[in-house]
Structure formats: C-alpha cells, structure tokens
Structure 1
Amino acid sequence: MEQQATAPRPPAGHPSAPDPLSPLDIEQAEAAIVEHYPRLVRLGYLVLPAGLGRNRRVLTAHALVQRSLPRNRVSLVECAPDAVPGPRGPEERRNDDPGYAYVRLRVLRGALAAGRPRGRLWPRPGLLPPPLPQVWGLRLFPRSGGADELALDQALGRLSPPARAAFVLRALELPSDREVRALLAAAGVAEPGAALAEAAAVRVPAGSRDGSLLESAEFDACSLQARPTDLMRRRQHLRAAAAALAAAVVCGGLLAVPGGGWGPDGAAAPAYARNAAAEQALDPGRLTRAPADAWRRADRPGFASWPARGDRTDDEALLRRALSVWARPGSTVQVTATPGTPAGPAPGPPQLLYAGAVDSAVVVLLYDGLRVVRYAEPRNGDATAAALDFARTDAADEDAATAVVLGRTDGNVRYLTAPWVSSAAVRDLLDPAGAAQPLHRGADGVTDPTAGPAAAGDCRSWPVLQLGGRLATDLGELVPARLTSGAPASGAAGPDRTAAGAAERAVWAHTACLLPSLRSQGVRAVNAWEFARQPLPGGAGVAQWLCTRAETWRGAGGRAVAGFLTPGGRPGAQAAVVARADDTPACGARQPHVLAGALWKSPGGNRYALAAGSPDVVSITATGGVRGTGAGPLLALPAGQGAVARLAGRTRDGKRVAALK
C-alpha cells in the first residue's frame, strides 16, 4: 500500500480537504488520468529538465503520467491536503478531485527526480529512456511557438528543477504560493520557499496573450509533430548490427568445423598475412605532408593543400600514438563523430596538418581526403586519457576549409587557420554595426583563445570568426560552419555570397539565435536572406520575411526556418519563427523558392493572415480558416483569432510552391 503523506491537513469540514484516511480506488485515479491526460503530460513536460531534448521529454512525460496509477487495487490518498485548493471556476473542479491530486503528485515527483544530480553508478529512472511508450524511427516534438515561447523555454531551462516546478504550478495549477509550497514539500522538495523565490525572479516575456504562455502549443506534449531520425546513422547502425551478427555466425561455424575450416580460400592471402595498406597507415614515416606553398598552386585549395604545422611535427612517438589510436581506439579513448561521419581507420597513410602543444593538451590533426581527425592527449604525458574526434570534410573547398578547432578550454576556442587566410577577427553577430576585434595568430596560424558561442547561452551575443572576407561560427564541431547571405539562386555557398558586409550582417542579427539548434549536426554552411518585405495593413510599417537554411556535409538533413520581423525593433531583435522544416530542399540552391505565413495583430486590435513568398512567386492562395487569393508574392487577409490557413503559391513558370510549416 502506498505510504500516507504527513503534510498538515486542513480542519475537518474544509471544502477543499479530502478525508486523509479515505481509500482511493484505482478506478478513481485512472478516471482522473483519462480526463486530464493532456494537462498532466504538459505538467511533466515542463518540469522535466530541458537537457533531455524535446523528443525524450515528450516520451518521458507520457511515461510519467501512465505510470502514476497506484500500485495496489486500493491506495490511501497520498497528496498533501493543503495542496488541494477550492474551486476557482467551472474548469478548475479537478482540484477538488483526490484522484487528480494523487496522480499530479506522482507525476511531479517523477519529473523532479529526473532533474536531480546523476548518481555515481546508475542514472536516475527519469534519465533513462522510458520502457513505454516507445517510438522507433521518428522524433516527436511539440509544435513551435513564437519568440516569446522560445525565450520562456530558455528561461525555464536555466532554473533549478524545484524552481521550474514552482513556476509551472503557479502558472497552471494553484492560485496561491501557500498551496504551491505545500505541494512542493509533499513532492520531496527540501526548500519550497527558496524554489518559489527563484521562480518569482523569472521575467516572463512581454506580449499579448489570452492566457499563460505555458498553455501555448509550444509546451503541448500531446499535439506533436513527427520527423524522421538521422536516416544515415540509422542505416549505418543496421548495417553494423547485420555485419556483427554475420561475423558471429561465421566465427561460430568456424569453431564448430574441425581441421582447416571450410576449405581453400582461393586467391585470398593466408589468415596470418599482414595488410600492407593498413601497416603503412600506422607508420609515421609515411605520413604525407603538403609543401608550404601547395595552396598557391592548387586548382582548388582545400585541406589537401594545408602544410604540416606545429612544434611537434617531427615527434615520431606522438605521431605513432595518434595513428595507432585512430586505428584501434581503446576503451579509455573518448571518440566523437559528427553525424554521417565514419569512425573507422584510415585506408592508407593520411596527411599531417598539425602537431603541437595547445594549452594543456598535445594535439595532432590528420586528414584522409574524407575526414579531418583530431587526436589529443594531456600535456602531462598521460597518453591513456586520449580523445579522438572525427569530422566529415569531403569536397571541402577554399571557402569551407578556412579553419579547424584545435581545442576548447573554459569556454574559449583556439583555431588553426588556413594558410590563405590573410586576417582574423571576431565579431558579435547580434551587433551588426559593431567593429570587428582583431584576433592575433601565431606564425603557424594558431589563434589566441577567443570566446566561443557556448558562453552566450542567453543569446545576448554570438561571437563569430571573420577570416578575410568570410564569416564562420563554432557549432561544437571540428570545422566551423560558414555563414553566408543572399538568395540561393546563385548556387552553392561561394565568395559572391559572403555574410561579412554590413547589409548581410544586419540580416544575420535577426536570425543568429537559431544557431544553437544546429549544434553537433554536421553543418557545413548556413545561409540567411531576406526574401520579402511586406507593407502591413493600416499603415503599421513594413515587415521583413527572412529564411535561414542549414546545409550539412553529408548532403542530407537540410533545415529551413522562416522568420517574421515587425518594424520598430532594435537592430539585434530576433525574428519570430513562423515555420520550419527538416530534410527539405526549400530555400536552397536546388529549390530557391520559399513561401511562409503568419497571423498578425495590428496596433488597432485587428487580426490578419499574412503570407509572403520569394520574388519568383507570382500568386498566393489561402484556404481553410482563411480564404483568398492575391497576385504577386504578398497576401494579407482579415482573419479570426486562432485561424489556420493553408497556403500555396505559383511561380512564373507554373510550378507549385508549398508553404513551410
């Protein structure tokens, strides 16, 4: 039988106090779950730590609610009586239901347990993938909200788990701090008062809302969008599993066959013969090294034309360790790889790019034509604590091969720049008018430490590298992603689409806060451009429509995001995200068209459905909750509150353009 809570009870006869000794039928708790399931899932989703990721938070929130039934047929009421208030309106009758109070407390306890520090041996249950429900091959996440919801989600992510629970309970569940404090205490929070004080300090984003921002679709874990998982990685895992199974079957069969196995192996070498290419890949004396001026004579400069630099390029013992770890990483080696990057050994002798001491580590950079590989070991000589990082860089040209991350320490980053980079500086992407700060480089092309974007978690600044006339940003990988700006009709990112100009930086200032969502995704380049300007109804000014597209090294998984920016904001104001799509060619070189829509409320209180397309869109049609057709790439129609319009456009050559969603 469930243990009975010891929180203080209201006096007998209090309208909101259930009898603490009355039994609670399991059917009563189940009815409460069925009736209030979306609300309970939203509560669990909001209290769970943001570090789980939106897909894990959705599944874990559903699992917490589904596991909140009593274990036994009959269980005593476990909620704190003071945490069950009187009714606040017809829709709040749930607070008088002891079944709802019971399951709410169970959900709150589970979500708080997931946010506590991890144990030494085993993670807490909330940190493990839930046994049920499980979704294979899909990522589920709530529908995206606006800039206010994004800012609130980031603010909640910085709170402690008790403070996050206090904020959510005050906004969605309980009318007074006394009741919130009692419910937190019943859920196991040691200092409910401190949690309430921390929650009260959160600044809720300003904006016209009919209710709490927490009630928006951004935090509804029952109305979900589905996207595929990393298809390339999933295919590689299936192939690896199939290969491992086949190898196990073959080895088992060989063990069972007496003598020399199944017979002669034909032209194959004997089993004890050595592979010459594999042996050469382990020999530091066979490393290839480009001449110092190779990049000047190359038809297409890239990593293959980088000379070997650093003060340890002749340290054969270091190079041998790096090559051996690459070929056979041990159990103590930390191995990372960007999505779509194979982590196997080199097919032959690789090229040496760098070998030298970087802060507290010794680093070796190698290149095999497909990948840049970074080997690092502590400078104190403990070669067993090594790290190995892989980044896919095939077909890297002069614009993509401008720099490689040598090391990260305390939020600062050191880069090795390409030999053709004439100057290096640092800019704040959110301050387009600010001057670039020169970044000193040594004779070997290694920069001084500079603050990385990870130090700007609140997105009040976003430092980027300016390498000559190119901009690049650190997204947590070996090779920084190039930032470009301009309509994608001109083809792939190139010198004609640099983002270093003042006008291009002004566009990037409105979309820079989208970059954190691209971390560790194998992004090669990100392009941002203004595809339309729209006069707003009633003379409210001119709005900007922006599209940001990320391209990956593996050629798949491109992401497009449409932003809407109303006039009158500061230069670094972020555009509201109105649509986004993954694994789409829209807004890119293959499909340069783009169409997006948004609901907008005028200063006079009138609501409109707005739509805009790229310049090649000649007509837009709206159906569904809003109906109308307009010639040209712009459309503005009166709309009711919460209206949903389906948009479609046509180009000059008659092609249909679907709207980003």
Structure 2
Amino acid sequence: MPTHRRPTYDTLPGRRPGVDEAEAALVEHYPRLVRLAYLTLPPALGRHRRVLAAHAVVQRVLPRSRKGDAPSPVPGQRGTATAAFSWTRERVVRDALARDSRPRSLRAFVSRRLPRLPAVAGLRLFPRAGGSDELALDQALFAVGSPARAALALGVLEGMTAAEIRALLTAAGVRDAAGALRTAERLVSERGGRVEALLGAPEFDPCTVQTRPTDLIRRRHRTRLAGAAAVLVALAGSVLLAMPDHDGTESATVADGAESPSLARALDPALLERANGDAWSDTSRVDFSVWPARGARTGDTALLERALRVWGGPGPDVRVSATTGTGTVPPAQPPRLLYAGEVGGAAVVLLHDGQRVARYAEPLSGGGAPALDLARTDDADVTTAAAVVVSRGPDGVRYLLAPWVAESTTRDLLAPGTPAADLDVSRDGVTGPVPTPPPSGEDCTSWPVMRLRSSERIVERHAFLVTDLGDLSPVHLTYTPLPGTGAPARQPREATGGAALASWARTACSLGSLRGSGVRAVNNWAFAEQKLPETGARSTWVCTRADSWRGPGRIMVQFQQPAPSPVEPGTVVAEDRDTASCSRFGQHVLAGTHWRAPSGTWYLLAAGSRDVTRITASGGVRADEPAGTLAVRAPRDSSVELTGRLADGKELPAVR
C-alpha cells in the first residue's frame, strides 16, 4: 500500500522519551502529526471541531515526566529523535482513535464541553475546500472507521509497511488491525495511486485553514437569553429527573438527523462557499467551482437555510427529482452557492457540492409545494458547465449562464440556413425564455439550441451549441467530419460550422429519445461516405453517440442518403447501449442496411470507419470486398452477418 518509504523512524518506540525529547519531535513534525490526527478523528465532529480536536490531540501527547524510561542518550543523536517521534506518533494515533463523537459518560460529556486549549470563540475554522476528487475521497473516508483512516494515513503519508501499521494499531488498542489495513488498501487501489496527492492537498490540512464567523444573529440572541436559558435548563433537568423512563426513539431520531454535527455543518448557510467574481478568469479549472454567487437574494439567510434543509431532509410535500445515476443524499460538506433570486414566479436557489447541482424552488404565491432537483455535474468543463436551468414554464426554459459566457444566441437546428437570434440576458446572467424542443413522439418541426461563446479572457472566440433534454444542465452538441484522404483521424469539434449544422439538421429530432436520461454530450460522427449503386449519388454514414454523466454511452447509426429536404431524418440502421463504440475508446465502427434503388432492386450496403480495410458478408448473402464500403444485391429480408477487418488484422463485428 505505501507509495513511498520514509526511512527515518522506527515503528514503535522502545521506551517512553522525556518531555524535552518529545517536545522537540512534536515541534519539528507538528504539521504531520496534526494531519495524521485530523484524518483519524471521526468526520462526524464536523470540520471546525475536528481541526481544533486534531491540534488538541497533538498538543496533549507530551509525557508528564521530564525524564524518560531510561537515561537520555547524547543530545542530537539520531536514534533519540526517531524514538521520540515514533512514541509521539503512536500516542497521537491512540488518542485520536479513542476520541468518540458521542460521549458515553457524564464526566466525558462535561469535560468535552469545558473550555480546553486550543479554543476559538466567534470564529469557525475549516481547511480549504478541494475539488471533486478530494470530495469523493472525503466521502469515502466518512464511510469507513477511524482505524481504517489511521491505517491509510500511516501507509500513504508516513510510508509505513503493512506489518508496521498492524503493530502500531494493535498497540493503540485496535482489535481488528488487519481488517483496517485491508480497508485502507482498498481505498488506495480504487484511486489508482492518487491517494498520496489527495491526502496532501489543503482539503486535509488542518494547519492551513480558512475562517468564517459563527451565526452573528444567533450569537446575539444567545447572549441576550443566556440568563433565561440557564433557568430553563435547570427547570428542564428537574422535570426530566421526575419523568419515567422510555425508549426515547423519537428524540433520538431528531437528534441524529437534524443535529448531526457533520450534517449541521453542511447545511449551515453561513458556511456556504462563495467564489470571487473574477475567479473564473484566473484559473486553469473552468467549471462550477469558479461560479460566483449571483442573484438578488444571495443574502437572504432564511431562503438559503430552507433550501439547505430541504436538501438535507425533504419532507413529504417536497417534489424531489434526480437525473439517472444521481444520488439524493445530503451534501457531505458546505456546498457552493451559485444563485439565489426570483425567476418565473418562484424563489430559486442553485447549489453545487462538487459533484452535483441542486436546484431548490419555492412558489412566491399560491401556496404550492417546494421542489428539489438534482443532477450530476462531476468533471464538468467550459462547455458542460456553461448553463444551468433556473426555471421551466409555458414560454420555455430560462438558464443561468456561466460567468465566462460572453455572447448568447438561439437558433433552430431544423433551419440550418437561418441566422441565429439574439437572446436577452439579465445582469445576473439569467436568460430570457428559450423554446423547449418537442417531446419524443410529437411532431418535430423545430429544435431550438443555444449558441454560446466563451469570453476571450479564457479562450479565443470559442463558440458551441447546447440544447435542453429535460435535465438541469443542457447537453453539449459536437460534430466529427468525414475522414480526410491521408489525413490523421478527425476529432470532435464544435457543431457551429455549415457541415455540422447540415448533419445535425437530419439528426436533431432523434434527440427526443434521450430526454431525461442524464446525457452530458452528444456527438455526430460522419464516419464514412459511400457511392450508391445505379445512381452514383453519395450517402453518408453517421454514428450519433450520447455520453452520460455516469460514464456509459449509447449509439445510434444512421444511413443518410440524398434527400429532397435538408432536414429529412436519416434511416436508423443500428443501436447499442453501454458501449464505447464511436468514442475515443472505441474508434472503429461497422454497420449495414438493406437499400432499395430507384429501379426497385434491393441491395445490401455496408460501411466502416477509416481503419476498416475489408468487409465480409455471410449468411443469406455472401460477399467479400477489400474496401471500407460494400454494395451487393440482396433480398430485402435476407439475414446477413457483417464482419470487418482492420488495418492491423483484427476483426470488427458490425453494430446490430
């Protein structure tokens, strides 16, 4: 499990060092020890309490005796320093493991609530928030026990071997040290060796923290009511002593749900992350993490608190929806505020927790129920994080645009020759209504899209198309043109040119079948061109690939022959789900179909991508063509199996 080895320290100390030796080791390695304690302590403490507890654990490990178990060796001897650090590290792990977020005795209850150094009044401390990878690791650490977290930190950050970790954990009182080590090794293997870099990030550094005030209004109320509270507590205590015992199930449920320290921290509106207004123009990561908080109600604490509480535990009257593959659990840490304002007759709050966008909406009048919508947005970029739906109504969809969008227009994919129309955008970045594409099964007479252009502060005049498929984030549309003769393989490009618009004009209406399925991007790949028999006209083979936020994709292969109308849909000849075909991980494709010539004769047509050098047909029709396309006479209902051969000699089955 260790990714490196620090060859300086023994596994376990052979003796207890004196206070001077221990203090020297503690001061020299203080940041390492505090990070080790922070990772081992229960995440349920919340980041503020865990930061203070980590510092307290390390500062209280010094032995009381000035002398150790044996006479001190010569000052400065290396073995003394290593033994002192090893003993200190073992005490830090032991004390951090012994810390429980739920005290089991009155003495522990009182001692943990008495002022103990270090203590902070009026401020909340927490490490700097990381990205989606750090958030995912933090959530994984939350799900395992303290021994496993300690084993992970000791193996990855301290470079200890498995035997050394087991010995230290056993000495610290862990009963199943081997099980904790196995869990830690699983966490490392799941992240492909990136755990060391993630654990070394500011997300897990309790020595580099940010500060925020506590709830100022609540603090003022507490000050005013301190005397009355003391009287009420005394009175309540006397009443509780006089009450008979019961199982306390209801109160336990409320305490565990509403008052959980980690959940309370994540749902505290005072701790919401807010990016600087120009952060997007001075970073290499252009996504939701650099969106500033916008809207007229970003300072409405009551609205923000309602939105967070609904996300933390929606009641039965709340309409909750989530795109495919999106979890509805509360955020693990305070999310980022993207927007809070009034749009379409509702108060709307948009939040982002590193992996999901949450939209909370409550009617401004009429007494309707609030709604919570969730959608995955992990690994979003300049295009897929360019807009979020803020409202849907009879007049269309309104979006909140990313701060880097400098220009926005609308166009109809079924009218490729019609110029784009300007789109109104408010000062807060909210667009005017954009017409909604028709649902699947209805007459497809238009397909509205937004054409957005990024600011030149991050990229030179980069324009792209997005369209609504019913989710919170619109879908990015791209296009890959026909392969050029002798040219390298083409890469997907923005669907803004003439050839791209012409291709999407014949494909757009097929997008309706993808509605509400969590699609991130759709690419139209014109992978082959074929001369038709008898007529000599040229047809195009297109593979349309839809990638989801979850990862799996689905494809649809179309045969587009010359048509009198530029928007006539192509013929769908094959489909497949959960496949890598037609992507950079599946760059070869082969498909075929039966086609009737104007003379009435039926043919079997087939075509492969650029690396297909031979196509073979077997079954009801037998043919072998040493080329990337095939056209032979065949009965309309003949059953045929197609196989392609690639330039490297490998076989390629056809998409069915």
Q: Which string of whole-angstrom CA distances, capped at 9 and with x for unpartnered residues, describes residues 198-219 of structure 1? A: xxxxxxxxxxxxxxxxxxxxxx
Residue from 528, 534, 543 that aligns with 1:538: 534
Gaps of 5+ in 1: 1-257, 262-269
Listed one character per residue, the Cα deviations across residues 514-534 of structure 1 (whole Å, up to 9, x for unaligned) are 100000110000000211111
- 1:655 maps onto 2:650 in alignment: yes
How far is the alpha carbon of 1:411 from its aligned partner? Answer: 4.8
TM-superposed deviation, 1:553: 0.2
Residue 279 of structure 2 corresponds to residue 294 of structure 1: yes
- Rate the CA distance shift 1:592–1:487 in 2: closer, same or farther, 3 A: farther
Q: Which of 538, 550, 553 pairs up with 2:549?
A: 553
Within 1, Cα distance between the matches of 2:341 and 2:246?
Answer: 52
Tell me the equivalent position of 2:444: 459
| Matching residue of 1:645 | 640
| Alpha-carbon distance, 1:644 to partner | 1.8
Q: Which residue of 2 aligns with 1:320?
A: 305
Deviation at 1:311, TM superposition (A): 0.5
Q: Which of 625, 628, 650 is the equivalent residue of 1:630?
A: 625
Query: Offset at 1:653?
Result: 1.5
Amino acid across the alignment from 2:573: V
Alpha carbons 2:492, 2:523 under 8 Å: kept: no
Instruction: Give CA-to-partner distance per residue, 1:133-152, whole Å, 9 cap, x none.
Output: xxxxxxxxxxxxxxxxxxxx
Note the C-alpha offset of 1:409: 0.5
Is the 2:479–2:492 Cα contact (8 Å) retained in structure 1? no
Query: Is 1:361 matched with 2:346?
Result: yes
Partner of 1:596: 591
Q: Which runs of 4+ in 1 moved over 4 A?
A: 258-261, 270-274
CA distance in 1, matches of 2:400, 2:267: 24
Taking a change above 3 Å as real, the CA distance of residues 495 and 568 of structure 1, as seen in their structure-2 partners, is closer
1:503 is displaced (CA, Å) by: 1.1
Q: Is the 8 A contact 1:411 1:454 kept in 2?
A: no
Deviations for 1:504-556, whole angstroms, at most 9, x for unmatched residues? 11111111111000001100000002111111111341111111000000002
Contact 1:431–1:509 under 8 Å retained in 2: yes
> Secondary structure at 1:590's aligned position in 2?
coil
C-alpha deviation, 1:434, in angstroms: 1.3
Gaps of 5+ in 2: 1-244, 249-254, 454-462, 484-489
In structure 2, distance between residues paired with 1:505 and 1:431: 9
- Structure-1 separation of matches of 2:406 and 2:267: 35
**Partner residue, 1:608:** 603
Matches within 5 A, 1:568-587: 568-587=563-582
Measured after TM superposition, the shift of residue 618 of structure 1 is 0.7
Q: Which of 516, 522, 529 in structure 2 is aligned with 1:526?
A: 522
Alignment root-mean-square deviation, CA:
2.4
Q: Which position in structure 2 is the counterpart of 1:281?
A: 266
Distance in structure 2 (CA, Å) of the matches to 1:313 and 1:271: 29
Q: What is the match of residue 365 of structure 2?
A: 380
Deviation at 1:655, TM superposition (A): 2.4
Aligned length: 391
- How far apart, in 1, do the equivalents of 2:559 and 2:567 lie? 14
Offset at residue 272 of structure 1 (A): 10
Does 2:513 match 1:517? Answer: yes
Task: Report the AA paired with residue 444 of structure 2.
Answer: C
Q: 1:395 to 1:272 in 2, by over 3 A?
A: closer
Which residue does 1:486 correspond to in 2? Answer: 480
Quote the offset at 1:273 in angstroms: 11
Whichever residue aligns with residue 586 of structure 2, its letter is Q
Q: TM-score, normalised by structure 1?
A: 0.57
| Residues 322 and 451 of structure 1: CA distance in aligned 2, closer, same or farther (over 3 Å) | same
**8 Å contact from structure 1 (residues 607, 640) kept in 2:** yes
Letter in 2 for 1:417: L
Q: Per the alignment, in what secondary structure is the counterpart of residue 352 of structure 1?
A: strand
Say if 2:468 is the partner of 1:474: yes
Whole-angstrom CA distance in 1 between matches of 2:491 and 2:404: 14
Post-superposition offset of 1:628: 0.5
The one-letter code matched in structure 2 to 1:400 is T
Determine the structure 2 residue equivalent to 1:210.
none
State the partner residue of 2:385.
401
**Do the aligned residues in 2 keep the contact of 1:355 with 1:365 (CA within 8 Å)?**
yes
Distance 2:559 2:588 in 1: 17
- Secondary structure in 2 aligned to 1:454? coil
Give yes or no for the alignment of 1:331 onto 2:316: yes
C-alpha contact (below 8 Å) 1:488/1:587 kept by paired residues? no
Question: Which moves more between the two structures, 456-465 or 515-524?
Answer: 456-465
Residues 90-122 of structure 1 show CA distances to partners (whole Å, capped at 9, x for unaligned) of: xxxxxxxxxxxxxxxxxxxxxxxxxxxxxxxxx
Retained in 1: the 8 A contact 2:556–2:572? yes
CA distance in 1, matches of 2:391, 2:597: 49
Q: 1:591 to 1:496 in 2, by over 3 A?
A: closer
Query: Given the alignment, which residue of 498, 501, 504 partners 2:500?
Result: 504
- How much has 1:585 moved relative to structure 2? 1.0
Deviation sequence 1:599-631 (CA, Å, 0-9, x none): 011111111100001111111111111110111
Amino acid at match of 1:483: L
User: Given the alignment, which residue of 432, 436, 441 partners 1:448?
Assistant: 432
Query: Percent same amino acid at aligned positions?
Result: 49
**C-alpha spacing 1:273/1:417, structure 2 compared with 1 (3 Å):** closer
Query: Is the Cα contact below 8 Å between 2:480 and 2:524 reproduced in 1?
Result: yes
1:547 counterpart SS class: strand
Q: Distance in 2 between matches of 1:367 and 1:290?
A: 12
CA distance in 2, matches of 1:633, 1:499: 26
TM alignment of 1:210-249, pairs within 5 A: none
Q: Deviations over 1:328-378 (max 9, x none)?
A: 100010000001100010101110000000011110000000100000000
* Residue 259 of structure 1: how far off its partner (Å): 11
How far 1:641 moved relative to its partner? 2.8
Q: Using the TM superposition, give the Cα deviation of residue 275 of structure 1 relative to its aligned residue in structure 2, in angstroms.
A: 3.2
Cα separation, partners in 2 of 1:275 and 1:600, compared to 1, 3 Å: same
TM-score for both structures, normalised by structure 2: 0.57
